[in-house]
């Protein structure tokens, strides 16, 4: 009788191990860009909130009562921002502080047309420097709620929105 060598048993572990290694390498390959982005110190992309400002013909500031805390408190968005630029029918403001709504880096205002936007911004005096902007349902409020920065209006914002005022009476830089 002749003895022949016994056939080697096949292990099913080897293909499973190879598949596991390949899956791990593929997963790491997919994670590398995410890990690099997390490690890098690049600034995140700017975010923005869009609002609309009524054309000059729709504004009736002379009919506005004195600004009350209750009326300001009905705002769904309130922000301290700096006017930066108007282009393509959109005015952009860099946010300094959110009182309500947000967070976002920019507030963008638009109107029915670029001309209406320019006129509305000028009439509301929101076309330069630091401003306080309040809106309700994305419509800018123009009966004293939104205006150029002043210490008295800023104090009202801080009080109404229950935030601690900055150490000085001037806006933060």
Element (H, E) at 73: helix 69-73
Establish if 165 belongs to a structural domain.
no
pLDDT tens-digit readout, 73-104: 999 999 999 999 888 889 999 999 999 987 89
Do 94 and 135 fall into the same domain? Answer: yes
pLDDT of residue 99: 95
Asked if residue 139 and residue 60 are part of one domain, the reply reads yes
In 40-73, which positions are buried (b, 16+ CB within 10 angstroms) versus exposed (e)?
eeeeeeeeebebbbbbbeebeeeeeeebeeebbe
Same domain (yes/no): 66, 147: yes
Spatial contact of 83 and 27, defined as CB atoms under 8 Å apart: no
Q: Same domain, yes or no, for 74 and 146?
A: yes
Query: What does the alpha-carbon distance between residue 22 and residue 26 come to, in Å, rounded to a whole number?
Result: 6
Confidence (pLDDT) at 85: 86
Number of structural domains found in the chain = 2
pLDDT band at 23 (very low <50, low <70, confident <90, very high): confident
Q: Is the pLDDT of residue 47 over 90?
A: no
| Predicted model pTM | 0.68
Sign of CA dihedral 169, 72, 55, 88: positive
Residues 139 and 56 in one domain: yes
Flag whether 5 is in a domain.
no
Q: Are residues 136 and 70 in the same domain?
A: yes
CA–CA distance, 124 with 142 (Å, rounded to integer): 7
> Considering the domain boundaries, does residue 61 fall inside one?
yes
Q: Is the peptide bond before 61 cis (omega within 30 degrees of 0)?
A: no
Q: 34 and 98, same structural domain?
A: no
73 and 107 belong to one structural domain = yes
Give the pLDDT confidence score for residue 139 in this predicted structure. Answer: 93
Shared-domain flag, residues 68 and 82: yes
The per-residue pLDDT for 11 is 56
Average pLDDT over residues 6-33: 72
Same domain, yes or no: 128 and 89: yes
Same domain, 54 and 110: yes
- Distances in whole angstroms, Cα of residue 31 to Cα of each of 23, 25, 37, 38, 43: 12, 10, 10, 11, 20
Q: Provide the residue range defining the domain that includes 64.
A: 48-160
* Average pLDDT value for residue range 38-54: 72
Residues 65, 86 within the same domain? yes
Quick: pLDDT tens for 123-171: 999 999 999 999 999 999 988 899 999 999 999 999 999 877 665 555 5
For 34, left (φ over 0), alpha (ψ -120 to 50), or beta?
alpha
């Amino acid at each position: 009788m002749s003895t022949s060598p016994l056939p080697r048993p096949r292990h099913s572990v080897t293909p499973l191990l190879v598949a596991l290694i390949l899956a791990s390498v593929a997963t790491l390959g997919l994670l590398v860009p995410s890990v690099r982005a997390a490690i890098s110190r690049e600034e995140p992309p700017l975010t923005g909130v869009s609002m609309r400002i009524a054309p000059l013909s729709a504004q009736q500031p002379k009919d506005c009562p004195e600004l009350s805390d209750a009326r300001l408190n009905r705002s769904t968005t309130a922000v301290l921002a700096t006017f930066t630029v108007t282009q393509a029918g959109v005015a952009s403001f860099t946010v300094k502080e959110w009182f309500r709504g947000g967070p976002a880096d920019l507030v963008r205002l638009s109107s029915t047309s670029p001309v209406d936007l320019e006129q509305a911004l000028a009439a509301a005096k929101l076309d330069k420097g630091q401003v306080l902007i309040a809106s309700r349902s994305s419509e800018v409020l123009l009966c004293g709620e939104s205006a150029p920065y002043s210490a008295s209006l800023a104090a009202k914002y801080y009080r109404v929105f229950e935030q601690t005022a900055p150490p000085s009476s001037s806006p933060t830089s």
